[in-house]
């Protein structure tokens, strides 16, 4: 694992390598977790707050450090950043040269975090730096590319031909199996109003407790890998049973999205523990579910 976090809990894979040779995109399972010409795997963090707390990037294998860059700021990409980034799309990062023509490249690392130097020989698992938001990226993640003799290789199916799905499933380059998740809920929480998308991505949307004079009780869910016709269900229950429920459809494929729903409070809710269950459904099946609790005093 090139990142020191728990997949499905404190990090997730937003994008795999694009296995479609044409203008479209698909990941190695022929699903949508990729984008056109993407040549690596993106290990993403749930929020900017998680990035600030610090998640280490680790060497995937023993190698020699090459091409180190640091010093670029951690800032979400927009077109206005093109001049500043000036082709340095990878941001802060480095390349590790391994034996027999293999190399791995690590991108978008946090400014000032890269702690290895060019020419250094390092073992697998060595801390290289931390996940950041430098270069051409809109969310905190590590992009790792695997190449053999300069050609990109998908570490999930190194033997598969580009136009077949899972044909290389028998072999993966990872030592420990990494389960494929076709999307999921990144984070969920309560609020006393519909939160802004910016606060959700920052990791500051949730509140720890609801006050008895709150004007509303709101449940929100932030998810990745949304496909058209997916449904996000938001359900709040309290000490006296169900308070609120909504089912909201995803209208088009979306790499990341959030939904929120709740109830205006004309009179105070009874004190106690409130539970929010956020469920992502696809074709009638549960893809992912997160449960959160909040006290009302």
Query: C-beta of 34: minimal distance to Zn ion in Å?
Result: 9
Query: C-beta of 38: minimal distance to Zn ion in Å?
Result: 6
Query: C-beta of 93: minimal distance to Zn ion in Å?
Result: 11
Q: Which is nearer to Zn ion, 139 or 190 (CB)?
A: 139
Query: C-beta of 239: minimal distance to Zn ion in Å?
Result: 45
Query: C-beta of 173: minimal distance to Zn ion in Å?
Result: 17
Is 143 near Zn ion (CB under 5 A)?
yes
Q: Which of 147, 42, 151 is nearest to 97 (CA)?
A: 147
* Sole window of 17-25, 91-99, 139-147, 179-187 interacting with Zn ion (rule: CB under 5 A): 139-147
Give the CB-nearest residue to Zn ion. Answer: 143
Q: Which is nearer to Zn ion, 77 or 220 (CB)?
A: 77
Interface residues for Zn ion in 88-127 (CB under 5 A)? Answer: none
Query: C-beta of 35: minimal distance to Zn ion in Å?
Result: 9
Q: Which is nearer to Zn ion, 42 or 281 (CB)?
A: 42
* Sole window of 6-14, 114-122, 143-151, 190-198 interacting with Zn ion (rule: CB under 5 A): 143-151
Binding mask 34-63 for Zn ion (x = CB under 5 A): ------x-x---------------------
Which residues of this chain interact with Zn ion, rule CB under 5 A? 40, 42, 143
């Amino acid at each position: 694992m090139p990142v020191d976090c728990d997949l499905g809990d404190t990090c997730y894979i937003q994008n795999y390598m694009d296995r479609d040779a044409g203008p479209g995109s698909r990941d190695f399972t022929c699903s949508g977790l990729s984008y056109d010409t993407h040549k690596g795997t993106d290990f993403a963090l749930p929020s900017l707050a998680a990035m600030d707390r610090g998640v280490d990037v680790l060497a995937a294998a023993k190698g020699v450090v090459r091409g180190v860059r640091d010093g670029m700021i951690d800032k979400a990409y927009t077109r206005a950043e093109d001049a500043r980034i000036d082709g340095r799309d990878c941001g802060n990062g480095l390349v590790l040269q391994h034996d027999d023509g293999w190399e791995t490249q690590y991108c978008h690392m946090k400014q000032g975090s890269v702690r290895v130097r060019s020419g250094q020989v390092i073992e697998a698992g060595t801390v290289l730096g931390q996940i950041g938001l430098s270069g051409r990226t809109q969310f905190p993640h590590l992009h790792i590319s695997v190449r053999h003799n300069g050609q990109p290789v998908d570490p999930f199916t190194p033997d598969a031909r580009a136009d077949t799905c899972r044909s290389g499933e028998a072999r993966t380059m990872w030592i420990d199996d990494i389960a494929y998740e076709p999307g999921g809920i990144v984070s969920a929480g309560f609020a006393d109003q519909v939160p802004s998308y910016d606060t959700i991505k920052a990791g500051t949307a949730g509140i720890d407790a609801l006050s008895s004079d709150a004007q509303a009780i709101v449940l929100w869910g932030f998810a990745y890998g949304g496909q058209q016709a997916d449904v996000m269900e938001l359900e709040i229950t309290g000490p006296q049973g169900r308070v609120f429920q909504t089912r909201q459809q995803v209208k088009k494929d979306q790499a990341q999205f959030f939904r929120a729903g709740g109830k205006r409070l004309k009179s105070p809710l009874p004190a106690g523990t409130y539970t929010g269950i956020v469920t992502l459904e696809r074709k009638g099946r549960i893809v992912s579910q997160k449960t959160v609790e909040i006290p009302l005093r």
